[in-house]
Structure 1
């Protein structure tokens, strides 16, 4: 009788161990890594389209046109380190921003430059203890008739409009319509400005002239490379394109493009510290 009871007890224990083993295996399977995407694709229905992200390159959501050189690439990095006109890059890169919405390129470019100038900053609604120029607060001191958040969120800003808005801040603002500059004047303006860390070029251009997808846009120019005659565009639409080197001749053509809102050419706004 004792032997029979012992045998039944051992049997129950073995079955219990088997049950624990099954539960443990199931739990481990739940924590296991998801199979590689290639295996998942093999079981997808033939008519199911692939996710767009799967075909996008690693250096940006949209492919960089072949005429441009991405800053993140070795050739792009080499241009920056070799450039004698790259002083604007360092303060701008410290405050590099992505535009809040698809029409806020002018606002993102502006707050980058304002913060990079090191001028006195206003109180911030985001950072109570730290004054800061932000896209959220940009329009607080600007006359709504000049520019307001609701309108800019839909239409963006023209060259004249941004120049007027920036004049509200304690900075020196100079605007240049592309049609008022020759190619040589445009190049000299970019080169001489990017040699300084206390003034910055904000470029209003049309993307198609530089081979990109899209329409009118604003972004800062942070450096000029004489060897390649190209300038570094710090694109604030970072979800769309990375920072790229663009031939100056193409940037000039993009600045000559007419803004459909103003009926005037696009161009450059230079923002800097006011002289003492």
Structure 2
């Protein structure tokens, strides 16, 4: 949509419809291709596979991988409708303002973290990337993190486990809670997502395995931005935007993905909640 067309469209619609128009234009680059058969997934611990599929399906030359038929892309009308009608969408607005693409295929945990840190509106550090503007960035994330917990060189190759990211985020002025999915029932997992996405001062960072939600790849991190009770699905803001767009995923499948054992820790994956500290 051109800038002129967008301005003309906004003049003709009401405020709720204007939000949908703007959202569609902003996320147009993530629009999915028609669904195809689900590709086999790489089983690596943390970072997405560099292979499009294990079955030999062709990778689209001009965009991300096809969205599996069990998922609904945010750019689809049904995806937009869910976002606009659910009451549990308060995490979406601040997170979308700071939506990032991971710097490399193992930096999904870092991209997810800086999105949350910037969205919380807490005091920001000096940035080497933007010298005149304080900002949390992937480039500077490890400046305050104990290298014994995690460091840029190692994470660039291996990613981070649930316990590692929780410990790394403890170096920032935020409240951090971690939940291994193996310690949660499906109901508790759902309640955690619903309660968190209904607020704008705390965010859920999900560690899951892609194959359980029908996508290609291995272990991954991304924020959850909304929950829709009618479809029992949650909005996953995928930080690997070169690979998949933001999608609505059934909570039962997210739970299965979070239950998957991390090969490094030997424990289930899960959720890290990052929020502002109580005064």
TM (norm. structure 2) is 0.78
1:250 Cα offset (Å): 0.2
1:61 Cα offset (Å): 1.1
| Aligned residue number for residue 100 of structure 1 | 103
| Aligned residue number for residue 265 of structure 2 | 262
- Cα separation, 2, equivalents of 1:70 and 1:128: 36
- Cα separation, 2, equivalents of 1:64 and 1:150: 32
| Aligned residue number for residue 222 of structure 1 | 225
Q: Does 1:170 align with 2:173?
A: yes
Cα offsets for 1:2-44 (capped at 9, x unmatched): xxxxxxxxxxxxxxxxxxxxxxxxxxxxxxxxxxxxxxxxxxx
| Aligned residue number for residue 76 of structure 2 | 73
Q: Does 1:128 align with 2:131?
A: yes
Unaligned 5+ runs, structure 1:
1-50
1:209 is aligned, of 207, 212, 215, to: 212
- Cα separation, 2, equivalents of 1:178 and 1:216: 14
1:128 Cα offset (Å): 1.0
1:126 Cα offset (Å): 1.1
Which stretches of structure 1, 4 residues or more, deviate above 4 A after TM superposition?
none
| Aligned residue number for residue 251 of structure 1 | 254
| Aligned residue number for residue 46 of structure 2 | none
| Aligned residue number for residue 40 of structure 1 | none
Equivalences for residues 4-19 of structure 1 within 5 A: none
Cα offsets for 1:142-168 (capped at 9, x unmatched): 110000000000000000000000000
For the 8 Å contact 2:59–2:65, the answer to whether it is kept is no
1:53 Cα offset (Å): 3.8
1:85 is aligned, of 80, 85, 88, to: 88
- Cα separation, 2, equivalents of 1:272 and 1:78: 27
Cα offsets for 1:139-197 (capped at 9, x unmatched): 00111000000000000000000000000000000000000000000000000000000
| Aligned residue number for residue 141 of structure 2 | 138
1:275 is aligned, of 264, 274, 278, to: 278
1:52 Cα offset (Å): 4.9
Q: How many residues align?
A: 222
| Aligned residue number for residue 157 of structure 1 | 160
TM (norm. structure 1) is 0.79
**Higher helix proportion (structure 1 or 2):** 1
- Cα separation, 1, equivalents of 2:138 and 2:64: 23
Q: Which has the larger radius of gyration?
A: 1
- Cα separation, 2, equivalents of 1:99 and 1:244: 17
Q: Does 1:232 align with 2:266?
A: no
For the aligned residue pairs, the C-alpha RMSD in angstroms reads 1.0
